[in-house]
């Protein structure tokens, strides 16, 4: 009979240690439950039963954290996991790293338990080198714990806890509301801790997204992808929120805060979704939402990166839907070139409902109408618009462009004249293409208006950029994808994330 190898003996000892620790934790939970059973049996009221449920849930969370702690300690204290992480981190670092020894760090687990660990630490080599006046951190930045990074433990919390806190705070109308919801689930965090965690996660995700998009825009096009051979629809629009711009000067004696201005800013967002041959939205592909606080060119660069990364150059058809904003339509042709798709496959569509609103503004330019004439005029105008008869529609405008009304009417006349090819609604319907931008308007409402726009709500640009990303992925049903990708991309020296981006390349 063959003798067990050294590795097999080590695994056997580790299994024995973990089993003993788990049995101890299980016995501890059982003892606590049995101790409370006499009191729980006496419960005969709704409030008492609710309190019992919450207590049992808390015991279960504590037990789960005990199991997690046992397995985490076993991973870090037995075997060569820490050594392998250190070797991989050194090999993948741009700067020279040196050992900082084993350092103590407190990590918070999903159930709220805090665990004190002693973990290997790496730091940039800051020793003075010949010819250098003084040592500096350089590009490598501060030190880190490679074994914790490899497990996705950042900001002193486990990845499951980081994901839950980020999700709940992102989904709530404020950080305090999110913390209250987390507290009811047994996850108690201080306001500043949660704020730092969410801002840190969001900032890192924004940086990682930028790197992925840059790679998607510069690498060679690849065959395949979830958008290849599909009918792709893109909606583009802008929202509104208030920026917080601090002013120089002393802090307010009353509040302790610096004075600030709150100008309106326009976050710009897009959505990408698929339709079938009948024009129905394909549920097999979850939509993509994203946006930026930057300018129009940055938004289209971001959109181009997504489309390239997901194989839109091989799409059957690409429809772009938006309102009449000139900044959208001036950049569509360049977008097609960036993506690598023929301009002949790109359909540009001005939102029907926005066009009708402009018609109503034209009608309002005439102060007085004979009874029923305004309604009849609008019906004729809508009929011509729907049929794509823009020349006939412009003739109706010319009939109103008289006297003091001429300037206002002609302004709208230019809008329809410049977008004539984008308003052939009858042809769009025949081809089963969308005539409205309701999809992106819904994104604006759910991502921006319900969380980021409101009385007394002001944003620093970097925080708004992060929240746009988090809210977009949450409302698109892709938040878990973002968390998984982000914690993986944060340690590329351990697990390669080069083939994926914030949107997985498989539907």
Residue ending a domain, among 21, 46, 77, is 77
Termini Cα distance of the chain: 50
If asked whether residues 384 and 462 sit together in one domain, one would say no
pLDDT of 210: 94
Burial pattern 264-285, b for ≥16 Cβ within 10 A else e, equals: ebebbbbbbbbbeeeeeeeeeb
Residue ending a domain, among 209, 233, 251, is 209
pTM: predicted TM-score of the whole model, two decimal places: 0.87
Residue among 252, 445, 216 nearest 338 (CA) = 216
Task: Give the three-class secondary structure for 339.
Answer: helix
- Residue in the structure block whose two tokens are 């789960």: 64
- Own/partner pairs for 338-342, CB < 8 Å, 24+ apart? 338/217, 338/300, 338/301, 338/304, 338/307, 338/308, 339/304, 339/307, 339/308, 339/312, 339/313, 340/221, 340/308, 340/313, 341/307, 341/312, 341/313, 341/314, 341/315
If asked whether residues 464 and 326 sit together in one domain, one would say yes
pLDDT of 4: 56
pLDDT of 272: 97
If asked whether residues 467 and 337 sit together in one domain, one would say yes
If asked whether residues 62 and 103 sit together in one domain, one would say no
Q: Kindly state whether residue 488 falls inside one of the protein's structural domains.
A: no
pLDDT of 414: 87
pLDDT of 80: 87
If asked whether residues 229 and 326 sit together in one domain, one would say yes
Q: Kindly state whether residue 500 falls inside one of the protein's structural domains.
A: no
Q: Max alpha carbon distance in the chain (Å)?
A: 106
Q: Token pair for residue 348? A: 């540009």
Look up the CATH number of the domain holding residue 242.
3.30.420
Q: Are strands 114-124 and 264-265 parallel, antiparallel or unpaired?
A: unpaired
If asked whether residues 135 and 251 sit together in one domain, one would say no
Q: Token pair for residue 310? A: 């997901």
If asked whether residues 273 and 395 sit together in one domain, one would say no
For residue 103, give the H/E element and its range: strand 97-108
Q: What CA–CA distances, in Å, run from 96 to 93, 136, 138, 234, 251?
A: 7, 12, 10, 45, 43
If asked whether residues 134 and 67 sit together in one domain, one would say no
Cβ-based burial of 42 (10 A; exposed 0-12, middle 13-18, buried ≥19): exposed
Give the structural domain span for 144.
89-209
Q: Kindly state whether residue 65 falls inside one of the protein's structural domains.
A: yes
Residue ending a domain, among 172, 190, 209, is 209
Q: Kindly state whether residue 491 falls inside one of the protein's structural domains.
A: no
pLDDT of 412: 86
Q: Kindly state whether residue 485 falls inside one of the protein's structural domains.
A: no
If asked whether residues 469 and 326 sit together in one domain, one would say yes
If asked whether residues 361 and 451 sit together in one domain, one would say no
CA dihedral 47, 49, 51, 55 (to 10 degrees): 180
Strand partners for 350: 322
If asked whether residues 34 and 183 sit together in one domain, one would say no
Strand order in the sheet with 317-322: 288-292, 268-275, 231-238, 317-322, 346-350
Q: Kindly state whether residue 482 falls inside one of the protein's structural domains.
A: no
Q: How far apart are CA 265 and CA 458, in angstroms?
A: 10
Name residues of the chain where pLDDT drops below 70: 1-11, 14, 126-141, 253, 255-256, 496-501, 504-507
How many domains in the chain?
Answer: 4
Q: Kindly state whether residue 506 falls inside one of the protein's structural domains.
A: no
Q: How far apart are CA 471 and CA 477, in angstroms?
A: 10
Query: How many CA atoms within 13 Å lie on the side-chain side of 420?
Result: 11
Q: Kindly state whether residue 487 falls inside one of the protein's structural domains.
A: no
If asked whether residues 123 and 160 sit together in one domain, one would say yes
pLDDT of 138: 45
pLDDT of 504: 59
């Amino acid at each position: 009979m063959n003798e067990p190898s050294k590795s097999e003996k080590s695994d056997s000892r580790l299994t024995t240690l973990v089993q003993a620790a788990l049995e101890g934790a299980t016995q501890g939970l059982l003892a606590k439950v049995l101790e409370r059973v006499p009191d729980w049996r006496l419960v005969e009221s709704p409030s008492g039963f609710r309190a019992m449920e919450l207590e049992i849930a808390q015991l279960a969370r504590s037990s789960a954290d005990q199991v997690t702690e046992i397995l985490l300690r076993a991973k870090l204290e037995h075997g060569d996991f820490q050594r392998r992480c250190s070797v991989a981190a050194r090999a993948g670092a741009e700067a020279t790293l040196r050992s900082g020894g084993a350092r103590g760090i407190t990590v918070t687990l999903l159930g709220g338990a805090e665990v004190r660990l002693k973990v290997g630490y790496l730091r940039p080599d800051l020793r003075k080198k010949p010819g250098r006046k003084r040592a500096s951190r350089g590009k490598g930045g501060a030190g880190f714990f490679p074994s914790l990074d490899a497990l996705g433990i950042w900001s002193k919390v486990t990845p499951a806890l980081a994901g839950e806190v980020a999700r709940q705070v992102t989904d709530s109308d404020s950080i305090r509301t999110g913390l209250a919801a987390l507290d009811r689930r047994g996850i108690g965090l201080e306001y500043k801790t949660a704020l730092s965690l969410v801002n840190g996660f969001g900032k890192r995700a924004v940086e990682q997204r930028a790197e992925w998009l840059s790679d998607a825009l510069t690498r060679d096009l690849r065959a395949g992808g979830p958008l290849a051979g599909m009918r792709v629809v893109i909606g583009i629009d802008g929202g509104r929120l208030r920026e917080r711009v601090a002013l120089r000067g002393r802090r307010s004696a009353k509040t302790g805060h610096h004075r600030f201005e709150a100008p309106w800013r326009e976050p710009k967002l897009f959505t990408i979704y698929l339709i079938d041959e009948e024009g129905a939205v394909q549920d097999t592909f979850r939509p993509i939402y994203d946006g930026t606080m930057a300018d129009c060119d940055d938004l289209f660069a971001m959109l181009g990166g997504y489309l390239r990364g997901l194989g839109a150059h091989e799409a059957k058809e690409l429809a772009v839907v938006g309102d009449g904003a000139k900044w959208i339509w001036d950049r569509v042709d360049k977008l097609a070139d960036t993506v690598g798709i023929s301009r002949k496959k790109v359909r540009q569509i001005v939102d029907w409902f926005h066009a009708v609103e402009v018609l109503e503004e034209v009608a309002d330019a005439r102060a007085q109408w004979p009874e029923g004439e305004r309604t009849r005029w609008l019906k004729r105008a809508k009929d011509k618009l729907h049929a794509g008869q823009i020349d006939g529609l412009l003739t109706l405008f010319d009939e109103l462009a008289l006297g003091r009304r001429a300037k206002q009417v002609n302004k709208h006349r230019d809008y329809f004249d410049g977008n004539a090819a984008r308003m052939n609604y009858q042809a769009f319907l025949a081809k089963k293409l969308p005539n409205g931008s309701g999809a992106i308007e819904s994104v604006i409402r759910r991502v921006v208006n319900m969380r980021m726009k409101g009385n007394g709500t002001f944003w620093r640009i970097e925080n708004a950029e992060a929240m746009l990303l988090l809210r977009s992925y949450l409302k698109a049903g892709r938040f878990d994808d973002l968390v998984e990708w982000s914690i993986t991309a944060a340690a590329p020296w351990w697990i390669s994330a080069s083939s994926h981006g914030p949107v997985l390349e498989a539907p």
